[in-house]
Amino acid sequence: MITNAIEQVKEFAETFNIEYSDDMNINIDESTIDLRFRLMQEENLEYLEAAKNKDIVEVADALGDILYILCGTILTHGLQHKIVEVFNEIQRSNMSKLDINGKPVFREDGKILKGPNYFQPNIKEILEK
């Protein structure tokens, strides 16, 4: 699913002459970094408002926009060829958060805490392949 979304956003970038990278790229100019951040922040705030207003149409719109902007940011950094593997590694790591009885441990606010078998995702290894 994500690769299809990234391809569609790439088509948008090509059509509208928006720069993106074919290869991993951390050397992004500051104005582009700020823009990508602002766009994500704006959509997150739109989601928050829509969810609090119990407006499922606006929630769906905000989530779609968040995904679209995220895909554009992935392309900006040239991570489109690695992001699925990165996600899978994060999933593996997240699943290691269970306690010794195989149960999740929650903080008071609902955040899942790291159990004794937790391991950090090895993103660096994926990016260096």
Place of tokens 């769906």: 60
CA–CA–CA angle 77, 1, 45 (5° rounding): 65
Amino acid identity at 99: D
Q: What is the pLDDT of residues 57-90, one digit of tens each?
A: 999 999 999 999 999 999 999 999 999 999 999 9
Instruction: List domains and CATH numbers for the chain.
Output: 1-81 (1.10.3420.10), 83-129 (no CATH)
Q: Which amino acid is at 68?
A: Y
> What is the percent of the chain where pLDDT is above 70?
100
Q: pTM here?
A: 0.91
Residue 25's pLDDT is 97
